Structures are given as structure tokens and as C-alpha cells.
């Protein structure tokens, strides 16, 4: 079955790492930036973390197709 081959542990660790790094960058941006630049920075950080998360999901799902 396809869902048996998806490595949920690896996916969970990856998403936890992405959430931690994103929170760290947002907190750092909040301390150093202000106003409109802060909004742009938080949006950029969120966009990059969302794309990274989607790539992680695709990588975890592709493992299901590598194993017969």
C-alpha cells in the first residue's frame, strides 16, 4: 500500500525543523526591522518556509514510489 511507505517520522522532523527556523527568523526580523520592511520580511520568510514545506512533503511522498 502506498501510504505504508511514506516516512511520517522524517516528514514530521522536517516540518518541525522548518517551523523552528521560521519562528527564529521571524523573531529576529521583528527585533531588527520595523514598519513596511518588517511586513515584507515576514511575508518573504513565510513564503520560503511554505515552499520548503511543500518540497519536503513531495520528497516524503516520492519515497513511496521508489519502493515497489
What are the structural domain ranges in the chain? 19-66
pLDDT tens profile 16-46:
999 999 999 999 999 999 999 999 999 999 9
Q: Which three cell numbers stand for residue 41?
A: 520580511
pLDDT above 90 as % of the chain: 57
- Structure confidence at residue 68 (pLDDT): 60
- Structure confidence at residue 2 (pLDDT): 47
Kindly report the length of the chain. Answer: 68
Is pLDDT at 4 greater than 60 in this prediction?
no
Question: pTM to 2 decimals?
Answer: 0.77
Q: Report the pLDDT averaged over residues 56-63.
A: 82
Amino acid at each position: 500500500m502506498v501510504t505504508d511507505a511514506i516516512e511520517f517520522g522524517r516528514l514530521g522532523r522536517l516540518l518541525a525543523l522548518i517551523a523552528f527556523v521560521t519562528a527564529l527568523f521571524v523573531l529576529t526580523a521583528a527585533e531588527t526591522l520595523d514598519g513596511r520592511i518588517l511586513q515584507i520580511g515576514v511575508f518573504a520568510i513565510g513564503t520560503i518556509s511554505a515552499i520548503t514545506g511543500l518540497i519536503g512533503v513531495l520528497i516524503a511522498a516520492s519515497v513511496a514510489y521508489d519502493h515497489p
